[in-house]
Structure 1
C-alpha cells in the first residue's frame, strides 16, 4: 500500500458514512478516522466538512449525492478549492479521473445487484485507464461477492451498505475487504 488513504483505512477499518447533521454531530464524538459525507449542497458542503475535519482524519464527499453541483469535472474542482475535503466518492469514472489529476483521494462506488454488475467491475478494472484509490461495493453484506471482487480488483475494496453489527463487519473484513463503511452509528463506536 502506497498512499495515506490506504494506511488510514487499514488501521481504522470502520468508516462513518454520514447522511445528515445529526449523524455528523454523533460522528464528531467518535474515534472514526475516515468519514464519508453522503449529504449536503453547494451552499453548505464547506461547513459540513469543516464540522468534522481534524488533522488526523480523512473526509470524502459523495459527489453523486451533493445537491446543486453537476456531475461534471468542475464540481470536483469546486470540492478541491472550496472545502477541506481530502477526496471524493462517486460512481462516475470521469470524476475519479479529474480528482486524481488534482490530488484528491478517490473512491469508485459500485452497486453489485446482479452478475452483470460483477462482470462490469472486472471489465472496467482491466480496460479502463481510470484507477481509483479504492473501490466500494454495495451492499457490503455479501461475503461471497466481496471475495470475488477482491480477487479481480487491483485496488483495495471497501464494503458498504446494510452493515449493522459486529458480525457484518467481521464477515466483510474476513472476506477480504480492507474496511467497511456504515451509516449505523452504533458501529462507529465499536
Structure 2
C-alpha cells in the first residue's frame, strides 16, 4: 500500500471524519487519505475495514476514539488489531509509543498563542513524529515557522473553509490539508 507521502503527491486533500454520517461520502470522495476523528471500541474495526476495502489510507486520532484507554494497551490494541496506516495524537508519550510499535505517527498541535507555538516546536523536536498536524490550519506564518524550526512535514487542519485557505496553507509549506468540509474534498 502506498504511504502518506505518495498519496499526498496524488491529492493533498485529506478527508477528516468527525461524524460517522460522513463515512459514505468520504468513501466515495476523491480523497485517498482519511483522518478518523470519531468512533468507538465497538465500531472501529468495521469502519477500518470499509475504508481499507475502498483502497484508502486510514489514520486514527487515538485521543478522540471512545472506549479505548489512551495508554499503552489501548494504543497497542489499535495498532495490532485495527491496522491503521497511522496514529494521530496530541500526546507526546503516545507519539513515542506509536513509533516504538512501528506505526506512522502524526503529532496533533493546537496552536493558540506564542507560548503553545514554542512548546509545540519543542515537542516536535523531542518526539520527532513522521508528520505534524497544525490546528487551526489557516495560519501560514505559523506553518512556515514550525516547518523551518523542525523540518518535519506539516498538515494544516481546522477552519479550512475554501480553496483560498487550501492554497495559502499549501503555499506556506504544508504538504497537505485535512478538512471535514465535504466541499474541500473536491478541490
Settle same-fold status: TM greater than 0.5: yes
Contact (CA 8 Å) 2:107, 2:124: kept in 1 or not? Answer: no
Partner of 1:142: 139
Deviation digits for residues 140-190 of structure 1 (CA, Å, limit 9, x no counterpart): 011121111121123100000011211110000011101000000111122
Tell me the residue number matched to 2:182: 185
2:161 aligned with 1:164: yes
Q: Structure 2 CA distance, aligned partners of 1:40 and 1:181?
A: 18
Counterpart pick for 2:128 among 126, 131, 138? 131
Structure 1 runs of 4+ with >3 Å offset = none
2:20 maps to 21
Q: 1:46 aligns to what?
A: 45
Structure 1: distance between partners of 2:144 and 2:151: 13
Structure 1: tracts of 5 or more residues without a match: none
3-state DSSP of counterpart to 1:85: coil
User: TM-score, normalised on structure 2?
Assistant: 0.93
- The 8 Å contact of residues 50 and 84 in structure 1, kept in 2 or not, is answered as no
Unmatched tracts of structure 2, length 5 or more:
none
Is the 2:110–2:134 Cα contact (8 Å) retained in structure 1? yes
Corresponding position of 1:66: 65
Report how many aligned residue pairs link the two structures.
Answer: 186
TM-score in terms of structure 1 length? 0.92
CA-CA distance at 1:46 after TM superposition: 0.6
